[in-house]
């Protein structure tokens, strides 16, 4: 049996916010995720789920603890190649078209994005995968919520990252679209061997993941699948 490589290993992560008042949101979080594995993180609002995701995504620094990505100490540069973000509110670039949004990570990584370039071909195949090829040249302002989130997923996959961090990806979507988005994200794990961490309140989505964690009192606890 082939051993799967560890994509992320977080150990003893601490984070305290001091403004407006001192709040310790993470108090020694440990987390490991491997290739082809999906994890759901649940918890009440304000427990620090997004903060944990930001720390894992190198957008924020932990006060204490270590974080490694593919065996190396995590650095902001990892956002270019190793990490793909999917946000609840899509976070698309409003003045750009669908294809331009999808290609933006490639541009940031100084890849050629002209037509017929590998990045462009990948972007069109990703749009095909998420099912919005016909919206490639639409301005993203003209897309529906579900379509926008599909663009966001395609964009997150543009540079072929090893891990996808999704922060409530279906939070703003209706049930049908939620299901579709979940299916796309999970297919990335199974078909493309990515690691996936989803922060969600949606128990239905959570149960589709390999593991479910609950963040409570600053600690991450593995949840019993039966509960």
Q: Which residues bind another protein (CB under 8 A)?
A: 50-51, 54, 57, 59-60, 76-77, 79-81, 85, 87, 89, 91-96, 104-105, 107-110, 155, 159
Instruction: State how far the Cα of 13 lies from the Cα of 34, in Å rounded to an integer.
Output: 18
Q: Do 208 and 182 form a contact (C-beta atoms < 8 A)?
A: yes
Instruction: Find, among 193, 224, 221, the residue nearest to 52 by Cα.
Output: 221
Shortest separation between residue 109's beta carbon and another protein, angstroms? 7
Shortest separation between residue 160's beta carbon and another protein, angstroms? 13
Shortest separation between residue 179's beta carbon and another protein, angstroms? 25
Cis before residue 20, ω within 30 degrees of 0?
yes
Q: What share of the chain is helix, strand, coil (3-state, %, to 5)?
A: 35, 30, 35
> Which residue lies nearer to another protein by CB, 68 or 81?
81
> Which residue lies nearer to another protein by CB, 82 or 170?
82
> Which residue lies nearer to another protein by CB, 51 or 200?
51
Torsion of CA 128, 134, 140, 146, to 10 degrees: -60
Shortest separation between residue 78's beta carbon and another protein, angstroms? 8
């Amino acid at each position: 049996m082939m051993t799967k490589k560890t994509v992320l290993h977080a150990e003893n992560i601490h984070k305290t916010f001091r403004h407006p008042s001192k709040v310790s949101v993470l108090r020694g979080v440990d987390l490991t995720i491997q290739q082809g594995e999906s994890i759901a993180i649940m918890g009440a609002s304000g427990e620090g789920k997004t903060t944990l995701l930001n720390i894992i995504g190198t957008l924020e620094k932990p006060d204490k603890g270590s974080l490694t990505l593919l065996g190396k100490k995590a650095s902001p540069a990892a956002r270019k190649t190793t990490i793909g973000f999917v946000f609840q509110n899509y976070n698309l670039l409003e003045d750009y078209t669908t294809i331009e949004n999808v290609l933006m990570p490639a541009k940031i990584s100084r890849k050629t994005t002209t037509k017929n370039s590998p990045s462009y071909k990948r972007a069109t195949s990703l749009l095909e995968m998420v099912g919005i090829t016909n919206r490639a040249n639409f301005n993203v302002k003209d897309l529906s919520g579900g379509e926008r989130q599909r663009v966001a997923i395609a964009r997150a996959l543009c540079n072929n990252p090893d891990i996808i961090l999704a922060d409530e990806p279906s939070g703003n979507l209706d049930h049908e679209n939620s299901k579709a988005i979940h299916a796309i994200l999970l297919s990335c794990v199974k078909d493309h061997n990515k690691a996936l961490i989803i922060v969600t309140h949606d128990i239905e989505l959570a149960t589709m993941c390999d593991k479910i964690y609950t963040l409570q009192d600053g600690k991450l606890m593995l949840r019993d699948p039966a509960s």
